[in-house]
Amino acid sequence: MRISIVSSTPLAATPAPGLTTDDSLRCRVLADLIGFPPEIPRDADLVLLSGYPVDGRLLAALESCNASAPHCAVVPVLAAPPADQVVQLMQAGAPDIVGSLGAADLDALIGRVRERLRRAALPADAVRTIGLVSAKGGDGATCIAANLAAALSRCPGTRVMALDLSLPFGDLEIHLTSEQPQHDLADVLAQIDRLDATLLDALSHPVGEQLRLIPSPAEFERFIEVKPPLVGRLLTLASQSYRFVVVDLGGGTDPVSLSLLGHFDQLLLVATPDIASLRRASKVLRMWQGMGRDTSRVGLVANRVTAHPEVPVTRFAATLGLPVLREIADESDGVSQSLLEGAPVLVTAPTSAFSRAIRHWAADLSGVQPVEESLWTSFKQLWRAA
């Protein structure tokens, strides 16, 4: 990794993070950020800006770096910025903030940037299976899973399976449909030996033209039939039959979730940025690691983000050592309406920041723009008429 440290005054000592022989570290002094040289981010993977106050010059430098070298992470060095400054810096394009140029802080930051580069290098179709885990109950894993699945299915040519493995009692369907699905997970698993793409399509509930849903078992007795190896086979078949499989894993600590963690191309830890969620998220991650589970594909989705979160999202992620994959705004009205109507927030509040963020995310994953809600309604009518 090519690292460049730009400081307002000469550094007392050259920082000494743990680097490999492929890495390089350059330090330079730039008294003022006006006219920040674009070649600095262009020739680096990570630029650290040290000793600059959070003002218009720093924000302008971040914005211009982001425009001229989007591959490069440009990270301000700030000991304890207040929450409103963190929001401003992130809006200007800072993907991270580091507290100091000390080796421990730099090592943690470099680890996060390496992961970002690794993900950026993945081919566009690398992600097929996405598992969502709620840091603590109520953080929004189900709501995000439902809306992401709905947005992905609005991308032309993109068939999606939404699978509810939030056991024993999931509620994924209430975010997507007002209908009562005929079959549930236990019915599908009962057919596992003869299950193929056609039967899977027939047993799952049609939510839209390109979205199928398998709800969790409706009664506790049926939940007993949900055995980890059978669910593993279902997940493999679903990932061969649909472009995306979006799975609600609930708290992520039950035997079925634990047995499946390795199946996912991406595991999303959905958390509201507060202390209770941070504690729970850290316990979940430690549990996974303690059980030898690979956590390199885990990313943070910060949900219900407001201008002044209890814990700034970058801090939250840094404490857990996770990359921030998405930030989703709080959208109480659209979400309440969604639950009342049994339709995704994309439908009940299509122009909200929530829906915009989910649509961008779906476009980034699928490489195709989701069809806007008004057009989608017309398309559906046309399809039905055809």
Ligand X SMILES: Nc1ncnc2c1ncn2[C@@H]1O[C@H](COP(=O)(O)OP(=O)(O)O)[C@@H](O)[C@H]1O
Judged by the rule CB under 5 A, the positions of this chain that interact with Mg ion are: 142, 166
Between 332-341 and 353-366, two packed helices, what is the crossing angle to 10 degrees?
A: 80
Nearer to Mg ion, 85 or 142 (CB): 142
With contacts defined by CB under 6 A, name the span among 19-27, 36-44, 325-333, 377-385 that binds ligand X: 325-333
Could you give the CA distance from residue 178 to residue 166 in angstroms, rounded to a whole number?
19
Identify which of 133, 163, 64, 48 has the alpha carbon closest to the alpha carbon of residue 97.
48
Minimum distance of ligand X from residue 311's CB (angstroms):
16
Q: Would you count residue 330 as binding ligand X (CB under 6 A)?
A: yes
Q: Would you count residue 355 as binding ligand X (CB under 6 A)?
A: no
Nearer to ligand X, 35 or 137 (CB): 137
Question: Which one among 143, 237, 268, 371 touches ligand X, defined by CB under 6 A?
Answer: 143
Q: Which does 328 bind (CB under 5 to 8 A by kind): ligand X, Mg ion, none?
A: ligand X
Would you tell me how many other CB atoms lie within 10 Å of the CB of residue 365? 23
Q: Which does 1 bind (CB under 5 to 8 A by kind): Mg ion, ligand X, none?
A: none
Nearer to ligand X, 166 or 241 (CB): 166
Nearer to Mg ion, 17 or 131 (CB): 131
Q: Would you count residue 252 as binding ligand X (CB under 6 A)?
A: no
For residue 129 the two structure tokens come to 């299976």
Is residue 236 within 8 Å of 209, Cβ to Cβ?
no
With contacts defined by CB under 6 A, name the span among 122-130, 134-142, 152-160, 359-367 that binds ligand X: 134-142
Minimum distance of ligand X from residue 49's CB (angstroms):
32
Could you give the CA distance from residue 158 to residue 142 in angstroms, rounded to a whole number?
21
Residues in 70-99 that interact with ligand X by CB under 6 A: none
Q: Would you count residue 134 as binding ligand X (CB under 6 A)?
A: yes
Strands 266-271 and 129-134, bridge-based pairing: parallel
Could you give the CA distance from residue 386 to residue 382 in angstroms, rounded to a whole number?
6
Q: Which does 335 bind (CB under 5 to 8 A by kind): ligand X, Mg ion, none?
A: ligand X
For residue 63 the two structure tokens come to 């914005």
For residue 209 the two structure tokens come to 């033209």
For residue 19 the two structure tokens come to 């680097």
Q: Which does 304 bind (CB under 5 to 8 A by kind): ligand X, Mg ion, none?
A: ligand X
Q: Please give the order of strands across the beta sheet that includes 129-134.
A: 205-206, 211-214, 160-164, 244-248, 129-134, 266-271, 298-305, 324-329
Minimum distance of ligand X from residue 336's CB (angstroms):
7
Q: Which residue type does 373 have?
A: E
Could you give the CA distance from residue 21 to residue 103 in angstroms, rounded to a whole number?
17
Q: Would you count residue 273 as binding ligand X (CB under 6 A)?
A: no
Question: Which one among 328, 346, 362, 371 touches ligand X, defined by CB under 6 A?
Answer: 328
Strands 24-29 and 160-164, bridge-based pairing: unpaired
Q: Which does 140 bind (CB under 5 to 8 A by kind): Mg ion, ligand X, none?
A: ligand X
Please state whether the peptide bond connecting residue 168 to the residue before it is cis, i.e. omega within 30 degrees of 0: yes
Query: DSSP secondary-structure letter at 224?
Result: T
With contacts defined by CB under 6 A, name the span among 58-66, 178-186, 216-224, 330-338 that binds ligand X: 330-338
With contacts defined by CB under 6 A, name the span among 70-78, 256-264, 329-337, 376-384 that binds ligand X: 329-337
Q: Would you count residue 304 as binding ligand X (CB under 6 A)?
A: yes
Question: Which one among 58, 130, 141, 245 touches ligand X, defined by CB under 6 A?
Answer: 141
Minimum distance of Mg ion from residue 138's CB (angstroms):
8
Nearer to Mg ion, 142 or 257 (CB): 142
Could you give the CA distance from residue 135 to residue 272 in angstroms, rounded to a whole number?
8
Minimum distance of ligand X from residue 370's CB (angstroms):
18
Is residue 213 within 8 Å of 177, Cβ to Cβ?
yes
Minimum distance of ligand X from residue 331's CB (angstroms):
4
Q: Would you count residue 140 as binding ligand X (CB under 6 A)?
A: yes
For residue 92 the two structure tokens come to 């200007």
Residue 250 neighbours by CB under 8 Å, 6+ apart: 133, 134, 141, 165, 166, 167, 170, 257
Could you give the CA distance from residue 137 to residue 85 in angstroms, rounded to a whole number?
30
Minimum distance of Mg ion from residue 55's CB (angstroms):
42
The b/e string for 323-332 (b: 16+ C-beta within 10 A; e otherwise) is bbbbbbbbbe
Residue ranges binding ligand X (CB under 6 A): 134, 137-143, 270, 303-304, 328, 330-332, 335, 339, 354
